[in-house]
Structure 1
Amino acid sequence: MASVNMADVKRLRELTAAGMMDCKKALEESEGDFDRAVELLRLKGAKDVGKREARTASNGLIALKQDGDSRAALLELNCETDFVAKGERFQEVAAQVVAFILETKPADVAELLDSKLDGKTVKELLDETNAALGEKIEIRRFSVLEGGYIGAYMHKTDPQLPPAVGVLVQLDSANAEVAKDIAQHAAAMAPKYLDADAVPAEVIEKERALFEEMTREEGKPEPAIAKIVEGRVNGWYKDFTLLQQAFVKDNKKSIKKYADEAGVKVLAFTRFKVGQA
């Protein structure tokens, strides 16, 4: 068996994102033929695609595509390791798919995966990437906003990695500064809903029941329980709805008040963080 040069092992790993030992074995099997080693790793990757389906893809990136000031899409594309996430091939696929999402506006992930992109389905594209990179690659979610004025903010939690947080904010009229401020606020404060009306009834009912149980366990007098619970529900809204959150740049005013003072209305927002619900 031919001995291998560690510089070639490292170069092969950087090109394919395969494991160090897999790269070494491929070079040994190909007797040092670099191109053949790449083929061997891809063949092995294709055979292992099914085995990777059960693995967890908790790393990845958030990709953005904008078309002017009134159309934008966000995509969360996941992989297993940050090594693959920072690779060129993975980022190219993310850019390709998020542009396709903005162009075609699929209804959900299932429809997106079945859609044809450059002669193949998006699922086939992911499977090919999966085989080439040696990791499970999957689309977790995406969002498209259209109309009004849309601002975006992308945040890197590690300067060596692609963006892990992405936010879109839709205003009823153009105001780049306000859109950026609110997008950065949302990235930092992680609101779940736009306002109280956007919270599903079952969610707030669950929170209300929890607050009532908590209040009773604290031994509060029965006549005061309803008022205490209502106060805690209102506090929950201030924590988890964007418009009621205290603005990070001025915590004396809410996001709604900040927008009102600027003469704009926040219509919608999307916030994605890799691996986070």
Structure 2
Amino acid sequence: MANFTIADIKALREQLGTGMVDTKKALEEADGNVEKAVELLRLKGAKGNAKRADRATSEGLVVARELNGKATLVELACETDFVAKNERFIALADKVADAAAAAGADSVEAALAASAGDQTVDQLISDEAAIIGEKVELRRVRTLDGDAFQIYLHRTSKDLPPQVGVVVAYSGDDAETARSIAQHISFANPSYLSRDEVPAAEVEKEREIVTEISRNEGKPEAALPKIVEGRVNAFFKQVALLDQDYAKDNKLSVAKVAQDAGITVTGFARFKVGA
């Protein structure tokens, strides 16, 4: 009879995020030896990593670090919410974020190549995925330079780790307003800092679309330029942070809020798990 209990299975499963059946089999094969069972699960998982390559990773978490005058935002993805809230997966995300921040990585490729102890981040993720038994993927990494930073991590569910993360780079002394703008970004999801950053081709495409819509609505030809300009400005308010109506007071733009607080937003990054 194997030398372990149901409580042992539960404890190991919660530690590793592995399936009930696989955990039980590993403990049986290891005769209750937890360290040996972990190694068996790792070996079994390593063989399964390739099989899991095409699986979807729609769950996970975001984590951020501020280091050496930079701030790094990381999204680490997995297959299920069970793994996303597992302590081992959360610890892995922390190690990945530490390594990416230390390397100043601004891309997935750079982060995967970064050193994490005596191995690369890529190797670390592969090893941990083998133990966890799910596909684990470093989906996005962004590093910002700036005078100061505010980091906002939002939980979409109290049972899960943060799934929306925002980093704001700014200059000035009003940290409270900078954090409020980070919260605004988490909600409003702008694509660009200012309208000047929106690619000209994207603006022109929007202009063509709203022109066609306006004509189809029967708007007078003479009035089209003004109508189209108004709709293009509405487009900028959707995609450009500084043009957006401030979430806490829609009578003010984000640009006005920042100006009144004496701060200048110089950059931002926003990740939402699976989006």
TM over 0.5: yes
1:226-237 alignment runs, 5 A limit? 226-237=225-236
Q: Please state whether the residue corresponding to 1:168 is helix, strand or coil.
A: strand
Q: CA deviation at 1:242?
A: 0.9
Q: Distance in 1 between matches of 2:253 and 2:67?
A: 30
In structure 2, what is the equivalent of residue 9 of structure 1? 9
Judge which range, 261-270 or 125-134, deviates more. Answer: 261-270
Residues 2, 96 of structure 1: CA spacing in aligned structure 2 closer, same or farther, 3 A cutoff? Answer: closer
Q: Does 1:65 align with 2:76?
A: no
Judge which range, 196-205 or 25-34, deviates more. Answer: 25-34
In structure 2, what is the equivalent of residue 19 of structure 1? 19
Q: CA deviation at 1:143?
A: 1.6
Q: Please state whether the residue corresponding to 2:75 is helix, strand or coil.
A: strand
Q: Please state whether the residue corresponding to 2:190 is helix, strand or coil.
A: coil
In structure 1, what is the equivalent of residue 144 of structure 2? 145
Q: CA deviation at 1:28?
A: 4.2
1:121-172 Cα offsets, whole Å, 9 max, x none, are 2111110011011111111111222222211111111122111111111222
Q: CA deviation at 1:103?
A: 1.9
Q: Please state whether the residue corresponding to 1:48 is helix, strand or coil.
A: helix
1:78-227 alignment runs, 5 A limit? 78-227=77-226
- Indicate the percent of aligned positions where both proteins have the same amino acid: 47
Q: Distance in 1 between matches of 2:65 and 2:24?
A: 38
Q: Please state whether the residue corresponding to 2:263 is helix, strand or coil.
A: coil
Q: Please state whether the residue corresponding to 2:158 is helix, strand or coil.
A: coil
Judge which range, 22-31 or 207-216, deviates more. Answer: 22-31
Q: Distance in 1 between matches of 2:125 and 2:230?
A: 48
Q: Is the 8 A contact 1:246 1:252 kept in 2?
A: yes
Q: CA deviation at 1:56?
A: 1.1
Q: Distance in 1 between matches of 2:174 and 2:89?
A: 33
Q: Is the 8 A contact 2:152 2:167 kept in 1?
A: yes
Q: CA deviation at 1:35?
A: 4.2
Q: Distance in 2 between matches of 1:271 and 1:72?
A: 12
Q: Distance in 2 between matches of 1:39 and 1:118?
A: 20
How many residue pairs get aligned? The number is 275
In structure 2, what is the equivalent of residue 247 of structure 1? 246
Q: Is the 8 A contact 1:149 1:175 kept in 2?
A: no
TM-score where L is the length of structure 1:
0.91
Residues 129, 202 of structure 1: CA spacing in aligned structure 2 closer, same or farther, 3 A cutoff? Answer: farther
Residues 239, 40 of structure 1: CA spacing in aligned structure 2 closer, same or farther, 3 A cutoff? Answer: same
1:29-88 Cα offsets, whole Å, 9 max, x none, are 4455544433332221010011111111111111111238x4321111111111111122
Q: Is the 8 A contact 1:4 1:24 kept in 2?
A: no
1:91-142 Cα offsets, whole Å, 9 max, x none, are 2221122122222213421222223332212111110011011111111111
Q: CA deviation at 1:246?
A: 1.0
Q: Distance in 1 between matches of 2:175 and 2:72?
A: 17
1:228-271 Cα offsets, whole Å, 9 max, x none, are 22211101111221111111221111010111112222111111
Q: Distance in 1 between matches of 2:119 and 2:241?
A: 39
Q: Distance in 2 between matches of 1:220 and 1:163?
A: 46
Q: CA deviation at 1:186?
A: 0.9
Q: Distance in 2 between matches of 1:53 and 1:225?
A: 51
Q: Distance in 1 between matches of 2:59 and 2:35?
A: 29
Q: Distance in 2 between matches of 1:230 and 1:128?
A: 54
Unaligned runs of 5+ in 1: none
Q: Is the 8 A contact 2:103 2:114 kept in 1?
A: no
TM-score where L is the length of structure 2:
0.91
